[in-house]
Structure 1
Amino acid sequence: MGYFPPEIWLYIHRLASPLSLLMVARSEELYYVPPRNPFHAVSLKDIRSFLLVSRLWCNLAKELLYENIAVPSDPRRFDALHDALENPGTARLVRSILLTQYRTDHNTAILALCPRVEVVCQPDATTSLIGWNSSDMSFPTFEFLKHVYWTESFLTSDFMRAVLAVAPNVEHLFVQCSAHLSFPKDEELTLPALPRLRRLECLGFDNHAGVLKRDLTRLVRLNCGPTPAWASYAIGGP
């Protein structure tokens, strides 16, 4: 309840005001005189309607709160988010996740709780990123994951490939080379098999041989090059 935005509180207050004891009390008296029946002018139907609206507002606020989340690097904020997502009813609300660039262990723990996520974004890592151990935790199958935005570096490569390995329905993959932790110039970019991939964008890499060797017949858009303006090819449609 403490996470409600001011607009929702004001709306609930406006709905609740006619039910307030102060509103139905005898305001002409110098002192507060409680009525015998504070709800004498309010029907049971109105009360139930108010309770229903409040409950719906609460559910709406919860959905908006957890629909798009960012993994915090601060331990206290992470613990609060992790505790909330341990409730399956809350975790199923998550649709997109912005991963942290500092704590791969935090990213792993949050992703493992959100099997219905649809969009994952891995920002450019920093040299202080805590590495990922594949034995730390296993991921569920991300059947709903459709869009992945991934910044490739030697610190995030294994982690993101582990995510893609259990995401069979990815349709859009955007991968770019890290500005801080880039690969060697002659290293070949390789990607896991993604049978439903429709759009592929690989930017900032010098060696695209591993990508171009793949079966590209299902793609409708391929973008490969050092900059987005160079090589954009519409294969089967927009």
Structure 2
Amino acid sequence: MRISPDVLLSFLAGDGLGVEYQPILRVADGELVAYEALARFRHERLGYLPPDQVFRQLHDSPLSLFQLELLIKRLQLEACPAGTPVFLNIDQDAFEVFLGEDRHPMVELLLEHQQAVVEIIENSSVADARVSIAMQQAFGGAGIPLALDDLGAHDSLVSFDVLLGVQYLKLARDWLSRLSSPAAMALLRGILSFARDAGKTVILEGVEDEAQMRWAREQGIDCVQGFLFRDRFVRHWAGEALGAGAGCEEPA
């Protein structure tokens, strides 16, 4: 799907930007412990647009990509529920635009919000791993908590430096398709044992039904998120009064 320049320009001007907050719940008692903030886009003519396609279209224009990422992060932080940690996925290519500069606007923005947690995505190449380490050093060095996202996704690589340096491990939903593999389950038990010994919190993504929730409880996983809890998702659009965008009125 090609998104025309005029549509992208409207997003860069701050029009049609939204955020969806997906709850992260403690397995032991179902209590809310945090939200993950996800970008959402809508256009008056085209309707709702897939976020990955919007960002992908801007990857050939790094400064524009960074500008949009910064706008989205500002919205996600301004509208987030008070007093609750919010997990933010920072685009690696956007972050890299200011890598090596004396100051990094994204780090400065997050330093203003004590509840922010930066998600570092699992790597798909050695170059990605280098950026992940740079993100860990920049955000972690500034005292901002870190989470490693999509741990165990089928197309990802593991950076051990990043693994050691984060406070949260987010297990990719891919683990739920490996339940019949003894080797995969042995590896998962090793990851969970490492997390317990290292004082890290483990979050399982992609939980869609009660059976998966029970499995997470049986494994001793700390927290979960996913479409099983869709009725607790909250959406907010730029320009709306806070609280006016509650609920999810259209498919994600």
Q: TM-score, normalised by structure 2?
A: 0.36
Larger Rg: 1
Q: TM-score, normalised by structure 1?
A: 0.37
Greater RCO between the two (CA within 8 Å, min separation 6)?
Answer: 2
More helix by proportion, 1 or 2?
A: 2
